[in-house]
Chains A and B, each alone.
Chain A
């Protein structure tokens, strides 16, 4: 595997379900990100992890719970979601070095909440 991978690629869940999204990066990066992309809207940053420590949480509801067990893996645990949470969830990684801003994205998980 190369780059940033995400599983599953598609997920349909009911509002009472609990599910998890998984991201893995094979680039040797030390920062990882979760983004949400809703239709016709810019990408919204949700969480940032650097060296497995959460460094940013952009006012995301507690029904989204991230986990970063090591610098290569990132999870997003989902519970009691709402239909408006249906979106494309993107994971990204970066080198987290001064002046290095490029982030590399996975293919995303298309989430539908019914």
Chain B
């Protein structure tokens, strides 16, 4: 059973607007979360992470929010750019060396 879930397989956003990608998890023991971005024909690229001691982490246009009580995290991209069009995966460590990934959300930023 998937412990990290991305329920929206796709999302389309207009250039310049905010993109919000969502991720839910079931394991309350998770204490660290990661977001990866994947372009076609490339491997996933690490984007941003957050520790459970925080509820927000920001890096340029990318901000991740963590709501522990709801077991929910979200990635905000603002302003969205056409180059942000990619598949976004959230992930959490099951152990020191094993990440479990969501199934991904395809973001399309329309010019």
Residues of chain A touching chain B, judged by Cβ–Cβ distance below 8 Å, are 4, 6, 9, 31, 33, 40-43, 45, 48, 50, 55-56, 90-92, 94, 96, 98-99, 101-108, 110
Q: What are 9 of the A-B contact pairs (CB < 8 Å)? A: A42-B4, A43-B99, A56-B98, A94-B97, A101-B32, A101-B93, A104-B46, A105-B43, A105-B45
How many interface contacts (CB-CB < 8 Å) are there between A and B?
60
Interface residues on B, range: 20 to 34
The minimal Cβ–Cβ distance linking B90 to chain A, given in whole angstroms, is 10
CA distance A61 to B41 in the complex (A): 26
CA distance A31 to B96 in the complex (A): 11
Contacts of B43 in A (CB 8 A): 4, 6, 90-92, 105-108
Residues of chain B touching chain A, judged by Cβ–Cβ distance below 8 Å, are 2, 4, 32, 34, 36, 41-46, 49, 89, 93, 96-104
Contacts of A48 in B (CB 8 A): 97-98
Inter-chain pairs besides A94-B97, A103-B99, 13 sampled, C-beta below 8 Å: A4-B43, A33-B97, A42-B100, A43-B44, A43-B99, A45-B98, A56-B97, A92-B43, A101-B49, A101-B99, A102-B49, A105-B43, A108-B43
